[in-house]
Amino acid sequence: MKTTRKDFIKSAAVLGIGSLSMSLQAKSGFISAAPEGIKPVNGKYSLPALGYAYNALEPFIDARTMEIHHTKHHQAYINKLNEAMEKEPSLKNMELEEILMNIQAQPESVRSVLRNHGGGHWNHSYFWTLLKTNTQMGPKFTKLVNNSFGSTEAFKKEFEKQAMRVFGSGWAWVLDQNGKLIIITTPNQDNPMMEMGVSPDQKGKPLLGIDIWEHAYYLKYQNKRADYVNAFWSVLNWDQVEQNINK
Ligand code: MN3
């Protein structure tokens, strides 16, 4: 069954997930921090600007990794997504979130491309907004963390554990379930808005996520994923996380 925005908002309202304004980002009931540009312009998606320099996250994430990650990996997801749009012109009238929330309803010929590359475009657009050095965990997130995990230390430990558990490539996410935080992981470029792979009790509003693909860290950290995950705390944009709570 096709999930419409209205259905999603309705179910989100039943779950009590936030107050949903009708802004572009909130219309899906899911989007918390995706920047503008997540819908096609003239039928094509394009690479969003980072809003900061490639070396802005040094020494925790190196400039070369950021540049390749942005201009090669992210661009490649967009290119494949645009190829699918060419094959199925009806998709050009849909926003990406709408496509991803209804993956199973998309034409079979492009479904896996939409899942992997549409997911890749959304996830990376979201991820870039979450990176900034020298920010501090805000009061709202601190309160959620204390209510859900008891302490910041316990939360970080659990997040790192989940991130380390991802087999192969994927993502780890922190979701807000009406004031309770949960941590989930998704394989490949799946994300919490997709109907498959995420069980109903794992639904919620994403406050933050981390890219666990080796391309996100291999140049600097090689096989030492734990060091990358640990460094993530130094580049996590807590101001954005705090904003995401209100979206
Ligand atoms: Mn990536």
Q: For the segment 234-247, what is each residue's pLDDT rounded down to a tens digit?
A: 999 999 999 999 88
Question: Residue 47 C-alpha to ligand 1 middle, in angstroms?
Answer: 13
124 alpha carbon to ligand 1 midpoint, in Å? 6
Taking the centre of ligand 1 as the mean of its atom positions, its distance from the CA of residue 32, in whole angstroms, is 19
75 with 123, same domain: the answer is yes
Residue 172 and residue 124 in one domain: no
Could you say which of 103, 129, 155 is where a domain stops?
129
How many C-beta atoms lie closer than 10 Å to residue 53's C-beta?
A: 11
90-113 pLDDT, tens digit per residue, is: 898 888 999 999 999 999 999 999
Based on the fold, state whether residues 95 and 159 are members of the same structural domain.
no
Q: How far is the CA of 144 from the centre of ligand 1 (A)?
A: 27
Q: Is the pLDDT of residue 152 over 60?
A: yes
Is position 53 within any domain? Answer: no
- What is the 69 CA–ligand 1 centroid distance (Å)? 6
Q: State the residue range of the domain holding 151.
A: 139-245
CA of 229 to the centre of ligand 1 (A): 14
Residue 241's contacts (CB-CB under 8 Å, 6 or more residues apart) are 130, 137, 138, 141, 207, 208
Q: Outline where the chain has alpha helix (H).
A: 5-15, 63-68, 75-87, 96-101, 108-113, 119-128, 139-149, 152-165, 218-221, 225-235, 238-246
Q: Are residues 153 and 238 in the same domain?
A: yes
Distance (Å) from CA 13 to ligand 1 centroid: 32
Q: What is the CATH number of the domain that holds 191?
A: 3.55.40.20
By C-alpha distance, which of 212, 241, 243 is closest to 228? 212
Predicted TM-score of the model (pTM): 0.86
